[in-house]
Structure 1
Amino acid sequence: MVALLAPAAIVTWSYVQRETYVADPAPPAPTLERTPAPLVRVLVFGDFGLHGRQQTAVARAMAEEHRAKPFDFGLLLGDNLYPCGPELSLPGAEDCTFSADENTVTPGYQPPEDKQFQAVFHAPLEDLKRADGSPLPIHTVLGNHDAGYSRSCFWTGKVPTRTSRLKACLEVAHQGPNWTMPGRHFVVDTPTARFVLFDSNTLAHDDYAFSFEEELAFVKEAVAGCGERRCFLVSHHMSVTAGKHQPETLTPAYQERARRLEEAGRIDAWLSGHDHDLQHSVTAKGYDVFVSGSAAKTRFEKFGPEPAPGARLRFGSTAWGFAVLEVFPTGWSMHFLNERREPLYCCEAHGQGRCEPVECPRGALPLTSR
């Protein structure tokens, strides 16, 4: 049974902490035709790069969920190293360079050991393993903090181009258990779904070291390759949000770039972090946007029913937690869970339809966390 923390009436505006905004307080029962196991099961979480009580609790819950019903892989939605990304003062860090494709690291480069990766990624996620003991792949994208876009790093807000290039390069170059980032952008393919991971700093920052036009060209080509499969965009930044970064997404330049990305081809949903909360919206274009950025650094939040003109917020929460995406023969679903693995919100998409709120399946999410 879904745990709805919002009052029965529809909320218009509210400041909440570890509470939930729900646009549809009485969802119908799930009707998705399910197989004994989904064709693809994906862990979706973001803004994870800060060690503390919240990260520890969420990481434990994700590992328990994986043991109960294994994931095929994970998607880490950026802001992997708070507050400023990789350390540039380490010997050899400034030697990192990109290949001519501006995406992959020059072959042969070995990055210095940056202890941040062990502290806030590898150690917390060490229990995410496959049945054979190998690490569960976590496919990772760049966030704004990874490239140095933080007031704690540069109070002027102007990040030197060389700095952002180096920081991005060092994250792509990093190697270690679970961590998978072969480039600033890449695709993850399964027989039934394609995940298009891209560097959304090009969407948000005019002074970023890399070109939005080149990123858009990659997204167009990658989306065209989805064919009949489910097609998901994956990035740190979102197209619409009802959270703290809403003013950023409503600027004319941001909206124009987001429009061009969403018109790259048919997509089922856009998966993102950036706001430190959990959200589900439907855009004016009719596709779903999910924010799963509550893994390590929740903040007070303001939610409202209209993330952007023509868009609608279906769900928003500041609970600690993560998301689970499942693809079935007849559709796909998204579940938000808190740090105790209790379901907060579930939705299901049938055929080419949108992900509609449903009551979370009984017994599908056994509670074993403390």
Structure 2
Amino acid sequence: MPRPALRTRLRTTIAAVGITAVLAALPTPTQATPEAALATPTDYCVGQCRDILPPGQNGNATFTDLLAFKAFGIRPAHFSDTVKPYQDLVWNSQGITDDGLAPYYDDSSFGVKPDDVASTVHPRADVTIVRDKSRGIPHITGTTRQGVMFGSGYAGAQDRLFVMDVFRHLGRGQLTPFAGGAAANRAFEQEFWRTAPYTEADLQRQYDDADELYGADGAKLQQDIQAWVDGVNNYINTVGIAYPGEYVALGLDWPTQPWKVTDVVATAAVVAGIFGTGGGSEVASALALLEAQAKYGVAQGTKVWESFRSQNDPEASTTVHNGTSFPDGTTGPNPAGRALPDRGSVTPEPEVIDQTVNKTAAAKWSAP
């Protein structure tokens, strides 16, 4: 049975780059070319996959685009073309059925119809990127796994390079010297720095140790990250004068610094901070439990703590598939998750904020 080519349909997100991907086995020598596969793709979704990315696929605006918007209110193509369906969904979500999703969500099937092809590029020999006219979405087909990852980095940089740059600085606590010292920027970077105060050596070590910690999967992860980084840098080196206009508007030098594998780790720390909030405040919750037990005794103190802890709301809406719900945070014996710090052993890291260091770094801090 012939094995399908690697194929991915890429949607980039504000957190650097989000990938909706299917990475299958490598193709046999007799298999169709990536272009032919795109013309008649295998629909693994069986017509049942849809997504929406507000406000639109494209997040890149050149300096000329910025001036056009300021003067005439004209936005770049695919910059905001999914705002309306997304906002309409808010008013029409009640009672919506599977058959009624099309006006609000895009079709996520693989491949581009021949009459919907906007562009086709080959940033290197083992990858093809086809963008559709409908939404400007890149559909990436590769003859190798690394080709697909390279293409993902290339397409991601096309759509979100400046935002990616913001997030790699944010992950290092360097947003202020990069994008300016507004109060919101300072608060934003301080929040994430408290969550993951990694040094550059820490970031590099997380990448370097992947193969030792996770074996073949870790080695594959390292290869994937390096190929993605290579794709980003290939775009940076070939974009010419059509680079994001924010660099001009903020007086930043171009070309931007080459991407590194540590930039991926720093960005991942930001994403983890957004969705994990530094572990879900588990340490603070554990300290509250210890103090309640010290004041009221173990049994009564535990009841006091349980009255404040987050639990499932029996009246909340839950995701249901074929009659089965997926509740979060189910209770029960879990010895691996019941470790508690010794009372009095946890002390906060002192945070030092110095806004007078120099003109290019309006806010710096350190944690000894």
TM-score after normalising by structure 1: 0.22
**The structure with more helix, counted as a fraction of residues:** 2
Structure showing greater radius of gyration is 2
**Structure with more contact order per residue of length (Cα contacts < 8 Å, sep ≥ 6):** 1
- Per the normalisation by structure 2, the TM-score is 0.22
